[in-house]
A = this chain, B = another copy of it.
Amino acid sequence: MKQIDLENLPDLAVGATFLGTGGGGDPYIGRLMAEAAIARFGPVRLMDVDDVPDDGLVVPAAMMGAPTIMVEKIPNGREMQIAVSSLQQLLQKPVVSLMTIEAGGINSMIPLAVAAEMGLPVIDGDSMGRAFPELQMTSLHLAGIRATPMVLVDEKGNTVMIDAIDNLWTERLARTTTVAVGGASIIALYPMTGRDAKRAMVRGTITKALELGRLLRADHLSVAEKDRRLQAEHGALKLFNGKVVDVERRSGDGFVRGTVSCVGLGDDQDHVFRIEFQNENLLAMRDGQVVATVPDLISVLDQETLMPITTEGLCYGQRVTVYAMPCDPVWRSVEGLNTVGPGYFGYDLTYVPLPGTGSNESRRTTHEVSHGD
Protein backbone atom coordinates (compact mmCIF):
# COMPACT_ATOMS: atom_id res chain seq x y z
CA MET A 1 0.00 0.00 0.00
CA LYS A 2 1.31 3.39 -0.96
CA GLN A 3 1.34 5.92 1.79
CA ILE A 4 2.73 9.29 2.73
CA ASP A 5 4.78 9.04 5.88
CA LEU A 6 7.47 11.05 7.62
CA GLU A 7 10.09 9.46 5.39
CA ASN A 8 8.75 10.37 1.95
CA LEU A 9 6.99 13.59 2.95
CA PRO A 10 10.08 15.76 2.22
CA ASP A 11 10.31 14.21 -1.27
CA LEU A 12 6.67 15.08 -1.90
CA ALA A 13 7.15 18.63 -0.65
CA VAL A 14 10.08 19.23 -2.99
CA GLY A 15 8.57 17.47 -6.00
CA ALA A 16 5.23 19.22 -5.61
CA THR A 17 6.98 22.56 -5.33
CA PHE A 18 8.73 21.81 -8.62
CA LEU A 19 5.36 20.99 -10.21
CA GLY A 20 3.92 24.09 -8.55
CA THR A 21 5.93 26.15 -11.08
CA GLY A 22 6.63 28.87 -8.56
CA GLY A 23 3.13 28.90 -7.05
CA GLY A 24 1.12 26.77 -4.67
CA GLY A 25 2.68 28.40 -1.67
CA ASP A 26 5.78 27.94 0.39
CA PRO A 27 6.34 24.27 1.26
CA TYR A 28 7.82 24.97 4.67
CA ILE A 29 4.70 25.78 6.67
CA GLY A 30 2.63 23.13 4.93
CA ARG A 31 5.29 20.50 5.51
CA LEU A 32 5.49 21.31 9.21
CA MET A 33 1.73 20.95 9.53
CA ALA A 34 1.68 17.65 7.63
CA GLU A 35 4.65 16.35 9.63
CA ALA A 36 3.04 17.18 12.94
CA ALA A 37 -0.23 15.53 11.92
CA ILE A 38 1.43 12.39 10.53
CA ALA A 39 3.64 12.09 13.61
CA ARG A 40 0.54 12.20 15.78
CA PHE A 41 -2.05 10.29 13.76
CA GLY A 42 0.07 8.09 11.50
CA PRO A 43 0.74 7.92 7.75
CA VAL A 44 -1.81 8.94 5.12
CA ARG A 45 -2.97 6.29 2.71
CA LEU A 46 -2.44 7.19 -0.93
CA MET A 47 -5.44 5.90 -2.82
CA ASP A 48 -5.77 5.07 -6.49
CA VAL A 49 -8.82 6.84 -7.83
CA ASP A 50 -10.07 3.57 -9.31
CA ASP A 51 -10.45 2.26 -5.77
CA VAL A 52 -12.83 5.08 -4.79
CA PRO A 53 -16.49 3.94 -4.77
CA ASP A 54 -18.42 5.45 -7.69
CA ASP A 55 -20.88 7.22 -5.39
CA GLY A 56 -18.34 8.14 -2.68
CA LEU A 57 -17.82 11.81 -1.92
CA VAL A 58 -14.43 13.18 -2.92
CA VAL A 59 -13.41 16.66 -1.74
CA PRO A 60 -10.34 18.64 -2.77
CA ALA A 61 -9.09 21.12 -0.20
CA ALA A 62 -6.56 23.88 -0.52
CA MET A 63 -5.22 27.19 0.64
CA MET A 64 -6.31 30.13 -1.49
CA GLY A 65 -4.62 33.49 -1.84
CA ALA A 66 -1.33 35.16 -2.55
CA PRO A 67 1.69 33.00 -1.64
CA THR A 68 3.52 36.01 -0.19
CA ILE A 69 0.69 36.41 2.29
CA MET A 70 0.43 32.68 3.03
CA VAL A 71 3.97 32.77 4.36
CA GLU A 72 3.06 35.25 7.06
CA LYS A 73 -0.61 34.46 7.67
CA ILE A 74 -0.11 31.02 9.08
CA PRO A 75 -3.13 28.72 9.36
CA ASN A 76 -4.24 27.86 12.89
CA GLY A 77 -4.44 24.21 11.86
CA ARG A 78 -8.16 23.68 12.26
CA GLU A 79 -9.47 25.60 9.25
CA MET A 80 -9.26 22.81 6.73
CA GLN A 81 -10.99 20.32 8.96
CA ILE A 82 -13.72 22.89 9.57
CA ALA A 83 -13.99 23.48 5.82
CA VAL A 84 -14.20 19.77 5.00
CA SER A 85 -16.61 19.03 7.85
CA SER A 86 -18.88 21.93 6.88
CA LEU A 87 -19.05 20.65 3.34
CA GLN A 88 -19.81 17.14 4.61
CA GLN A 89 -22.60 18.51 6.77
CA LEU A 90 -23.99 20.63 3.96
CA LEU A 91 -24.08 17.67 1.59
CA GLN A 92 -25.23 15.27 4.30
CA LYS A 93 -22.66 12.76 3.10
CA PRO A 94 -19.34 11.58 4.51
CA VAL A 95 -16.14 12.28 2.59
CA VAL A 96 -14.49 9.03 1.50
CA SER A 97 -11.32 10.60 0.21
CA LEU A 98 -9.60 13.95 0.14
CA MET A 99 -7.82 15.24 -2.90
CA THR A 100 -5.21 17.89 -3.56
CA ILE A 101 -6.47 20.58 -5.91
CA GLU A 102 -3.02 21.32 -7.27
CA ALA A 103 0.61 20.34 -6.98
CA GLY A 104 2.38 22.96 -4.94
CA GLY A 105 4.38 23.43 -1.80
CA ILE A 106 1.59 24.22 0.56
CA ASN A 107 -1.36 22.77 -1.33
CA SER A 108 0.14 19.32 -1.55
CA MET A 109 0.88 19.35 2.15
CA ILE A 110 -2.11 20.79 3.97
CA PRO A 111 -4.61 18.18 2.72
CA LEU A 112 -2.26 15.54 4.14
CA ALA A 113 -2.41 17.15 7.55
CA VAL A 114 -6.20 17.05 7.49
CA ALA A 115 -6.27 13.56 6.01
CA ALA A 116 -4.06 12.31 8.85
CA GLU A 117 -6.22 14.01 11.43
CA MET A 118 -9.53 12.85 9.94
CA GLY A 119 -8.24 9.35 9.13
CA LEU A 120 -9.04 9.79 5.44
CA PRO A 121 -7.02 8.70 2.41
CA VAL A 122 -5.77 11.09 -0.26
CA ILE A 123 -6.19 10.26 -3.94
CA ASP A 124 -3.04 10.02 -6.04
CA GLY A 125 -3.68 12.91 -8.38
CA ASP A 126 -4.92 16.45 -8.46
CA SER A 127 -6.95 18.70 -10.75
CA MET A 128 -4.11 20.49 -12.52
CA GLY A 129 -0.96 18.34 -12.68
CA ARG A 130 0.78 21.56 -11.62
CA ALA A 131 -0.42 24.75 -9.88
CA PHE A 132 -2.59 27.50 -11.34
CA PRO A 133 -3.75 30.74 -9.76
CA GLU A 134 -7.54 30.54 -10.21
CA LEU A 135 -10.24 28.16 -9.00
CA GLN A 136 -11.74 27.40 -12.39
CA MET A 137 -8.35 26.32 -13.78
CA THR A 138 -8.94 22.64 -13.13
CA SER A 139 -9.48 19.51 -15.16
CA LEU A 140 -12.67 19.19 -13.11
CA HIS A 141 -13.94 22.48 -14.56
CA LEU A 142 -13.12 21.30 -18.08
CA ALA A 143 -15.13 18.15 -17.37
CA GLY A 144 -18.16 20.20 -16.35
CA ILE A 145 -17.93 19.66 -12.59
CA ARG A 146 -19.16 22.54 -10.43
CA ALA A 147 -16.75 24.08 -7.91
CA THR A 148 -19.63 24.78 -5.54
CA PRO A 149 -21.01 24.34 -3.00
CA MET A 150 -17.69 25.35 -1.52
CA VAL A 151 -16.68 26.37 1.98
CA LEU A 152 -14.11 29.06 2.75
CA VAL A 153 -12.65 29.42 6.23
CA ASP A 154 -10.17 31.87 7.70
CA GLU A 155 -7.85 31.54 10.68
CA LYS A 156 -10.05 33.81 12.79
CA GLY A 157 -13.07 31.52 12.52
CA ASN A 158 -15.10 33.18 9.76
CA THR A 159 -16.84 30.67 7.50
CA VAL A 160 -18.34 31.47 4.11
CA MET A 161 -20.30 29.01 1.99
CA ILE A 162 -20.57 29.84 -1.70
CA ASP A 163 -23.04 28.37 -4.17
CA ALA A 164 -22.33 30.09 -7.45
CA ILE A 165 -23.95 29.93 -10.85
CA ASP A 166 -20.69 28.90 -12.51
CA ASN A 167 -17.03 28.33 -11.73
CA LEU A 168 -15.94 31.80 -12.84
CA TRP A 169 -18.35 33.32 -10.32
CA THR A 170 -17.02 30.94 -7.72
CA GLU A 171 -13.52 32.23 -8.39
CA ARG A 172 -14.69 35.83 -8.20
CA LEU A 173 -16.68 35.44 -4.98
CA ALA A 174 -14.06 33.32 -3.25
CA ARG A 175 -11.29 35.69 -4.33
CA THR A 176 -12.98 38.82 -2.97
CA THR A 177 -13.78 37.00 0.26
CA THR A 178 -10.18 35.80 0.52
CA VAL A 179 -8.97 39.37 0.06
CA ALA A 180 -11.49 40.55 2.68
CA VAL A 181 -10.25 38.07 5.30
CA GLY A 182 -6.67 39.21 4.80
CA GLY A 183 -5.41 37.66 1.57
CA ALA A 184 -5.36 33.95 2.36
CA SER A 185 -8.01 31.40 3.25
CA ILE A 186 -8.64 27.67 3.42
CA ILE A 187 -11.15 26.21 0.99
CA ALA A 188 -12.96 22.92 0.36
CA LEU A 189 -14.60 22.84 -3.05
CA TYR A 190 -15.49 20.80 -6.14
CA PRO A 191 -17.31 18.17 -4.08
CA MET A 192 -17.71 15.26 -6.50
CA THR A 193 -18.52 11.59 -6.75
CA GLY A 194 -15.84 8.95 -7.20
CA ARG A 195 -17.30 8.48 -10.67
CA ASP A 196 -16.57 12.08 -11.57
CA ALA A 197 -13.14 11.97 -9.99
CA LYS A 198 -12.26 8.98 -12.17
CA ARG A 199 -13.23 10.69 -15.37
CA ALA A 200 -12.03 14.20 -14.57
CA MET A 201 -8.98 14.31 -12.34
CA VAL A 202 -5.34 14.42 -13.37
CA ARG A 203 -4.00 11.07 -12.24
CA GLY A 204 -0.73 10.15 -10.57
CA THR A 205 0.38 13.68 -9.64
CA ILE A 206 1.45 12.70 -6.14
CA THR A 207 3.50 9.72 -7.35
CA LYS A 208 5.08 11.97 -9.92
CA ALA A 209 5.89 14.58 -7.28
CA LEU A 210 7.36 11.90 -5.01
CA GLU A 211 9.63 10.67 -7.82
CA LEU A 212 10.71 14.18 -8.77
CA GLY A 213 11.41 15.06 -5.17
CA ARG A 214 13.38 11.88 -4.55
CA LEU A 215 15.56 12.66 -7.55
CA LEU A 216 16.10 16.31 -6.63
CA ARG A 217 16.91 15.47 -3.01
CA ALA A 218 19.19 12.48 -3.72
CA ASP A 219 22.42 13.12 -1.80
CA HIS A 220 24.40 10.57 -3.76
CA LEU A 221 23.73 12.14 -7.18
CA SER A 222 25.63 15.05 -8.69
CA VAL A 223 23.81 18.09 -10.03
CA ALA A 224 24.83 17.03 -13.55
CA GLU A 225 23.33 13.57 -13.03
CA LYS A 226 20.12 15.00 -11.60
CA ASP A 227 19.90 17.35 -14.56
CA ARG A 228 20.37 14.45 -16.97
CA ARG A 229 17.65 12.40 -15.31
CA LEU A 230 15.25 15.33 -15.05
CA GLN A 231 15.47 15.62 -18.81
CA ALA A 232 15.56 11.90 -19.62
CA GLU A 233 13.03 10.56 -17.11
CA HIS A 234 10.71 13.48 -16.52
CA GLY A 235 10.62 15.19 -19.90
CA ALA A 236 12.09 18.39 -18.45
CA LEU A 237 13.84 20.88 -20.67
CA LYS A 238 16.60 23.11 -19.36
CA LEU A 239 15.83 26.69 -20.36
CA PHE A 240 18.48 28.80 -18.66
CA ASN A 241 21.33 29.02 -16.19
CA GLY A 242 21.79 32.41 -14.62
CA LYS A 243 21.66 34.92 -11.83
CA VAL A 244 18.59 36.82 -10.67
CA VAL A 245 19.25 40.54 -11.17
CA ASP A 246 15.80 41.95 -10.53
CA VAL A 247 12.46 40.88 -9.04
CA GLU A 248 9.44 43.10 -9.31
CA ARG A 249 6.28 42.16 -7.45
CA ARG A 250 2.87 43.69 -6.92
CA SER A 251 -0.06 42.28 -4.96
CA GLY A 252 -3.47 43.59 -4.00
CA ASP A 253 -6.25 41.84 -5.89
CA GLY A 254 -5.63 38.47 -4.27
CA PHE A 255 -2.67 37.58 -6.46
CA VAL A 256 0.99 38.40 -6.56
CA ARG A 257 2.06 39.39 -10.05
CA GLY A 258 5.57 40.22 -11.12
CA THR A 259 8.62 39.74 -13.25
CA VAL A 260 12.00 38.17 -12.51
CA SER A 261 15.01 39.07 -14.66
CA CYS A 262 18.19 37.03 -14.92
CA VAL A 263 21.54 37.33 -16.67
CA GLY A 264 23.24 34.20 -17.95
CA LEU A 265 26.07 32.25 -16.39
CA GLY A 266 28.26 29.49 -17.93
CA ASP A 267 26.91 28.44 -21.34
CA ASP A 268 24.27 31.13 -21.06
CA GLN A 269 26.74 33.97 -20.52
CA ASP A 270 25.77 37.11 -22.47
CA HIS A 271 22.14 36.06 -22.61
CA VAL A 272 19.23 37.47 -20.60
CA PHE A 273 16.17 35.71 -19.33
CA ARG A 274 12.86 36.92 -17.97
CA ILE A 275 9.92 35.19 -16.32
CA GLU A 276 6.51 36.75 -15.76
CA PHE A 277 4.31 35.33 -13.02
CA GLN A 278 0.88 35.53 -11.41
CA ASN A 279 1.40 33.40 -8.30
CA GLU A 280 2.76 30.81 -10.79
CA ASN A 281 5.34 31.34 -13.53
CA LEU A 282 3.45 32.12 -16.73
CA LEU A 283 5.94 33.02 -19.40
CA ALA A 284 9.67 32.54 -19.97
CA MET A 285 11.64 34.66 -22.40
CA ARG A 286 15.22 34.17 -23.50
CA ASP A 287 16.74 37.27 -25.07
CA GLY A 288 13.20 38.57 -25.59
CA GLN A 289 12.01 35.42 -27.36
CA VAL A 290 9.25 33.39 -25.70
CA VAL A 291 10.61 29.91 -24.97
CA ALA A 292 7.86 28.53 -22.73
CA THR A 293 4.36 29.59 -21.63
CA VAL A 294 1.46 28.37 -19.57
CA PRO A 295 0.05 25.77 -19.44
CA ASP A 296 3.51 24.15 -19.73
CA LEU A 297 5.43 24.18 -16.47
CA ILE A 298 8.23 26.66 -15.81
CA SER A 299 10.21 25.96 -12.64
CA VAL A 300 13.07 27.90 -11.12
CA LEU A 301 15.61 25.82 -9.17
CA ASP A 302 18.57 26.77 -7.07
CA GLN A 303 21.57 26.04 -9.28
CA GLU A 304 23.58 24.22 -6.63
CA THR A 305 20.97 22.40 -4.59
CA LEU A 306 18.34 22.02 -7.32
CA MET A 307 15.72 22.94 -4.76
CA PRO A 308 12.71 24.65 -6.40
CA ILE A 309 12.19 28.33 -5.60
CA THR A 310 8.63 29.65 -5.35
CA THR A 311 7.82 33.07 -6.78
CA GLU A 312 7.64 34.62 -3.31
CA GLY A 313 11.10 33.23 -2.55
CA LEU A 314 12.83 34.78 -5.57
CA CYS A 315 15.37 37.47 -4.77
CA TYR A 316 18.32 39.33 -6.15
CA GLY A 317 21.54 37.40 -6.51
CA GLN A 318 20.16 33.87 -6.56
CA ARG A 319 21.94 31.50 -8.95
CA VAL A 320 19.20 29.58 -10.69
CA THR A 321 18.50 26.96 -13.31
CA VAL A 322 15.17 27.21 -15.07
CA TYR A 323 13.38 24.14 -16.39
CA ALA A 324 10.26 23.70 -18.43
CA MET A 325 8.13 20.56 -18.43
CA PRO A 326 5.16 19.62 -20.59
CA CYS A 327 1.75 20.12 -18.99
CA ASP A 328 -0.89 17.44 -18.69
CA PRO A 329 -2.48 16.89 -22.12
CA VAL A 330 -5.87 18.06 -20.83
CA TRP A 331 -4.55 21.64 -20.96
CA ARG A 332 -3.56 21.42 -24.61
CA SER A 333 -7.15 21.05 -25.79
CA VAL A 334 -8.94 24.10 -27.16
CA GLU A 335 -11.02 24.41 -24.01
CA GLY A 336 -7.94 23.85 -21.86
CA LEU A 337 -6.05 26.62 -23.60
CA ASN A 338 -9.04 28.96 -23.36
CA THR A 339 -9.00 28.36 -19.62
CA VAL A 340 -5.28 28.57 -18.86
CA GLY A 341 -3.46 29.47 -22.08
CA PRO A 342 -1.33 32.62 -22.47
CA GLY A 343 -4.34 34.52 -23.84
CA TYR A 344 -6.33 34.07 -20.61
CA PHE A 345 -3.51 35.77 -18.69
CA GLY A 346 -3.47 38.70 -21.09
CA TYR A 347 -0.63 37.71 -23.40
CA ASP A 348 -1.25 38.08 -27.10
CA LEU A 349 0.53 34.82 -27.91
CA THR A 350 -0.43 31.55 -29.51
CA TYR A 351 0.51 28.63 -27.31
CA VAL A 352 3.31 26.54 -28.75
CA PRO A 353 3.97 23.21 -26.97
CA LEU A 354 7.50 22.74 -25.69
CA PRO A 355 9.74 21.35 -28.44
CA GLY A 356 9.79 17.59 -28.66
CA THR A 357 7.06 17.05 -26.09
CA GLY A 358 4.30 15.92 -28.42
CA SER A 359 5.04 12.19 -28.43
CA ASN A 360 6.07 12.32 -24.82
CA GLU A 361 2.67 13.77 -24.05
CA SER A 362 0.53 11.27 -25.86
CA ARG A 363 2.34 8.47 -24.04
CA ARG A 364 1.36 10.10 -20.76
CA THR A 365 -2.31 10.42 -21.64
CA THR A 366 -4.20 8.25 -19.21
CA HIS A 367 -7.52 9.76 -18.22
CA GLU A 368 -10.73 10.09 -20.09
CA VAL A 369 -11.05 13.87 -20.33
CA SER A 370 -7.72 14.11 -22.11
CA HIS A 371 -8.13 15.64 -25.52
CA GLY A 372 -4.57 15.12 -26.75
CA ASP A 373 -2.85 17.92 -28.59
Contact = CB atoms under 8 A, between A and B. Distances in A.
Interface of A: 156-165, 169, 172-173, 176-177, 179-181
A46 to B, nearest CB: 33
A165 B172 contact: no
B172 A163 contact: no
Contacts of A165: 156-158
A159 B169 contact: no
Contact of A173 (B163, B164, B172, B181): B181
Contacts of A156: 165, 169
A173 B152 CA distance: 12
A149 to B, nearest CB: 9
A165 B177 CA distance: 14
A179 to B, nearest CB: 7
10 contacts: A156-B165, A158-B164, A158-B165, A158-B173, A159-B162, A159-B163, A160-B173, A161-B163, A176-B176, A176-B180
Nearest to A172: B180
Contacts of A161: 160-163
B160 A162 contact: yes
Contacts of A160: 160-163, 173, 177
A162 B164 CA distance: 14
Contact of A176 (B157, B159, B169, B179): B179
Nearest to A151: B161
Nearest to A178: B176
B177 A173 contact: yes
A340 B51 CA distance: 58
Nearest to A180: B176
A169 B158 contact: yes
B169 A163 contact: no
A81 to B, nearest CB: 15
Nearest to A175: B180
A88 to B, nearest CB: 15
Contacts of A157: 165
A172 B162 CA distance: 16
A179 B158 CA distance: 19
Q: Which 9 A-B pairs have the closest CB atoms?
A: A161-B161, A176-B180, A159-B163, A157-B165, A176-B176, A158-B164, A160-B162, A156-B165, A158-B169
Contacts of A181: 173
B169 A173 contact: no
Contacts of A162: 158-161
Residue among A157, A163, A172 with max Cβ neighbours from chain B (10 Å): A163
Nearest to A170: B158
A347 to B, nearest CB: 26
- Point out which of A156, A159, A165, A172 has the most chain B C-beta atoms below 10 A from its C-beta: A159
